[in-house]
Amino acid sequence: MNLVVDVGNTLVKLAVFNGKNIVYKKIVVKSDFDKTIEFVKDEYAEISRAILSVVGSFSDKSISKISKHFQTIYFTTESKIPFINDYTTPKSLGVDRLVLVSAAFDQYPGKNCLVIDMGTCVTYDFLNAEGHYKGGAISPGINMRYKALNSFTEKLPLLDVNAPESIIGDSTQTSIHSGIIFGVTFEIDGVISRYKEENKDLTVILTGGNAHFLRDRLKNSIFAHSNFLLEGLNFLLEYNQTA
């Protein structure tokens, strides 16, 4: 069994894999990680290897808890990857984006793939059919857009994410919901359409915390994978053992 750990800006995702199947998954705040890893260690004694990916900050104590119990790979921009990276500043590329592209390489071999991650930011990453990662784009995520309207104005309120019933907002609150949700939806559909103009037989993968919230709002055909990053980490753990 494998343990994969993805440390984001605010949350930590953990999953236990038996082969390619997830048998346990947990999302926790960073302060709850240490007790969660103790539970996983006791509950799944068959785990022998682990992989750790860190985007946000993570304490040395928490990292040592993983390496103490398991043979651990700390995935970084220096780690082995299965595709050719054409990014001009590879050391500045987020490891989460590398993991997502690795998942696309593994699950959609020989395909032009656009991976869209709906996390803190919306990231777009393109892997061509020849196995070259060409880059992509970064834009503000949904929650960030709500916070920006509140932070950079004097009177607009901070709202929770909510799907608008109509594109025409008839109040300040519904206007905010419309502007943000329709705005990000039109953005994603527009980006997908532009990529399709330039790349035949494009496979689009939507993942991240808000993926299923937006999936049915998009006009373009997409594959929604809520566990795509975790699956990519599990693949990279195996790949780095054999590469």
Is residue 243 packed enough to be buried (19+ CB in 10 Å), middle (13-18) or exposed (0-12)?
A: exposed
Name the pLDDT band for 120 (thresholds 50, 70, 90). Answer: confident
Number of domains in the chain: 2
- Asked if residue 121 and residue 152 are part of one domain, the reply reads yes
Residue range of the domain that includes 43: 2-75
What pLDDT sits at residue 10? Answer: 78
Verify that 91 and 201 share a domain, yes or no: yes
Give the pLDDT confidence score for residue 147 in this predicted structure. 97
Given 75, 93, 120, the domain boundary residue is 75
Indicate which residue of 96, 106, 117, 125 is catalytic: 96
In this structure, the answer to whether residues 61 and 141 fall within a common structural domain is: no
Q: Is residue 241 part of a domain?
A: no
- Asked if residue 129 and residue 56 are part of one domain, the reply reads no
| Tens-place pLDDT, residues 27-80 | 999 989 989 999 999 999 999 999 999 987 888 888 888 988 899 999 999 999
Answer yes or no: is pLDDT of 7 > 60: yes
Considering the domain architecture, whether residues 58 and 132 belong to the same structural domain is answered as no
Is there a catalytic annotation at residue 96? Answer: yes
Q: Are 126 and 133 in contact (CB under 8 A)?
A: yes
Residue 125 lies in a domain: yes
> pLDDT band at residue 193, thresholds of 50, 70 and 90?
very high
- By DSSP bridging, strand 71-75 and strand 132-140 are unpaired
pLDDT of residue 121 exceeding 70, the answer is: yes
Please check whether residues 100 and 184 belong to one and the same domain.
yes
Stronger pLDDT, 115 or 55, i.e. the higher one: 115
Same domain as 218, residue 103: yes
Asked if the structure places residue 198 within a domain, the reply is yes
pLDDT tier at 126, thresholds 50, 70, 90: very high
Given strand 49-54, what is the order of strands in its sheet?
Answer: 21-29, 11-18, 2-7, 49-54, 71-75
CA distance linking residue 137 with residue 117, whole number of Å: 11
Q: Enter the tokens of residue 185.
A: 């939806």
In a domain, 243, yes or no: no
Does some domain include residue 237?
Answer: no
> Is 185 inside any structural domain?
yes
Tokens of 205: 């993968």
Share above pLDDT 70 across residues of the chain, in percent, rounded to a whole number = 99
Last residue of a domain, one of 45, 75, 105: 75
220 and 187 in one domain? yes
pTM (2 decimals)?
0.92
Question: Residue 173 falls within a domain, yes or no?
Answer: yes
Same domain flag for 28 and 88: no
110 and 133 within one domain: yes
Same domain for 30 and 70? yes
CB atoms within 10 A of CB 204: 21
Q: How far apart are CA 157 and CA 173, in angstroms?
A: 8
Confidence of residue 243 (pLDDT cuts 50, 70, 90): low
Does residue 240 form part of some domain? Answer: no
Identify which has the larger pLDDT, 171 or 222.
Answer: 171
Please identify, among 75, 94, 115, the residue that sits at the C-terminal boundary of a domain. Answer: 75
Q: Are residues 91 and 62 in the same domain?
A: no
> What CA–CA distance (Å, rounded) separates 17 from 209?
20
CATH of the domain at 228: 3.30.420.40
